[in-house]
Amino acid sequence: MTRLRDDYEHSRYRKFKRWYDGEVNLLEDVMDVTLPDGKQEGQKESRSAGPSGSPALEARRKASEAVYGPEVWPQRETVDYAQWRRHAQEALEARIHPDGYFGAGGRPGNGPAETAARGLRRFRRFYQVMSVILCMMIIAVFLWTTIHLPPFGGADNPANNEVPARYIESGLAETGAINFVTGMILDYRAFDTFGESCVLFIASCCVLVLLRIDASNGTSRARSRGPQEDDRLFEPKNDVILQRAAFILVPLILVFGVYIVLNGHLSPGGGFSGGAVLGSGLILYLNAFGFAKTERFFTEKVYRRVTLCALTFYCLAKSYSFFTGANHLESGIPLGTPGAILSSGLILPLNICVGLVVMCTMYAFYTLFRKGGM
């Protein structure tokens, strides 16, 4: 997926990094932007072998001495950072009180450090008091709003306007779904649901970007993590109780999830809840039997294809239906008899799409958190 850059050594970031590490002088690089190869190798050696490098480096050092004097270049190369950090740490500890505030070396007085410590303490007290007051104010505002809400299920509530009336009166005839919540979110408001599915997909993409450990590119990073941090090596746990429970529960959970998805237009449920149930069942199966079993049927390739197909089908199907609906054309999608499993037009396939996307997202979250891959 990622292509390695051939001219990485000449990139701006690399140049900035070298300048930041103190290897090169920025003013010299302005003169010759494309460094010859011999000079770069000399610099690489100089990082490991100290100042006595290649002749190109010697030439650079002479040029630097001519500009800055004899002291600058060797100093820049041989700074002992560990020693310097130790000195800084000691100097810092000498000025810090045991309770964590800055003080003037433990000596009582009215120095600037003492004043700063007192100010910090005052600020912390002020911060605590203000946060409590703010929290109380928010609670009071919420309670005050709740008191003035209309009663639950009242007939005169402002939510009872013409929109739910339309849904309730003609929802069954227009969508063909008995459960008109599903009919609402997958027919009248199908565009919102498409946005939600895309949000889930984008969220899993972000987790993938942040947590993925690439087998081909990040080998050094994966090796440096050490075996005890790699969760996969301890799989499966062979927990007998968990495996027995999962042996009974996982088929039930998966069948229940499939039932919720397929019956979304007939009974309460739908793509989101069914997909979440399916994802939890898969996670339970993974916990009980390990990655080796789940990777037989659910890999990253499967995830990519399933998610892509589901989202593309949703987009195309709803685009077609919106296009025909906006132009007052016959869509040609039969609504069927209400109550049958194959009814209500596009709602059943759209439910399956949403369920697949949600299931894949849940499972992908878990595996990415667990081992940084699928």
Partner 1 sequence: MKVFEILLLVSLIVCAVSVAVIRDLLTSIIIFMSYSLIMCVIWVLLQSPDLAITEAAVGAGVTSILFFVTLKKIRAIRKEDDRDDEA
In the complex, the residues that contact partner 1 under the rule CB under 8 A are: 181, 260, 268-270, 272-274, 276-277, 279-280, 283, 362, 365-366, 369-370
DSSP 324-358: HHHTT---------TTSSS-STTHHHHHHHHHHHH
Least separation in angstroms between CB 194 and partner 1: 18
Of 73 and 298, which CB lies nearer to partner 1 in the complex structure? 298
Of 283 and 310, which CB lies nearer to partner 1 in the complex structure? 283
Distance CA 91, CA 107 (A): 15
Least separation in angstroms between CB 269 and partner 1: 5
Least separation in angstroms between CB 32 and partner 1: 47
If you ran DSSP here, which 8-state letter would residue 103 be given? -
Least separation in angstroms between CB 230 and partner 1: 11
- In the numeric block, the tokens 């080998």 are attached to 219
Least separation in angstroms between CB 246 and partner 1: 14
- In the numeric block, the tokens 């929109």 are attached to 163
- In the numeric block, the tokens 């190869």 are attached to 37
Q: Judge residue 22's burial from the number of C-beta atoms within 10 Å of its C-beta, 0-12 exposed, 13-18 middle, 19 or more buried.
A: exposed
Q: Is 373 helix (H, G, I), strand (E, B) or coil?
A: coil
Q: Is 96 helix (H, G, I), strand (E, B) or coil?
A: strand
Of 322 and 369, which CB lies nearer to partner 1 in the complex structure? 369
Instruction: Tell me the residue type at 10.
Output: H
**Taking a C-beta distance cutoff of 8 angstroms, is the pair 236, 289 a contact?**
yes
Of 45 and 295, which CB lies nearer to partner 1 in the complex structure? 295
Of 253 and 311, which CB lies nearer to partner 1 in the complex structure? 253
Least separation in angstroms between CB 114 and partner 1: 32
For 47, the enclosing helix (H) or strand (E) is helix 37-49
- In the numeric block, the tokens 């996982």 are attached to 250
- In the numeric block, the tokens 């209500």 are attached to 344
Least separation in angstroms between CB 285 and partner 1: 13
Dihedral, 127, 129, 134, 140 alpha carbons, nearest 10: 170
Least separation in angstroms between CB 58 and partner 1: 48
Least separation in angstroms between CB 284 and partner 1: 9
The β-bridge partners of 102 are 96
The β-bridge partners of 96 are 102
Of 123 and 234, which CB lies nearer to partner 1 in the complex structure? 234
**Taking a C-beta distance cutoff of 8 angstroms, is the pair 370, 231 a contact?**
yes
Least separation in angstroms between CB 35 and partner 1: 42
Residues in contact with 42: Cβ distance below 8 Å, sequence separation at least 6, in sequence order: 53, 54, 55, 56, 57
Of 169 and 229, which CB lies nearer to partner 1 in the complex structure? 229
Of 176 and 271, which CB lies nearer to partner 1 in the complex structure? 271
From 319, 314, 316, select the one nearest 347 (Cα to Cα): 314
Of 103 and 279, which CB lies nearer to partner 1 in the complex structure? 279
Of 273 and 321, which CB lies nearer to partner 1 in the complex structure? 273
Distance CA 308, CA 357 (A): 9
Compute φ and ψ for 263, nearest 5 degrees: -100, 20
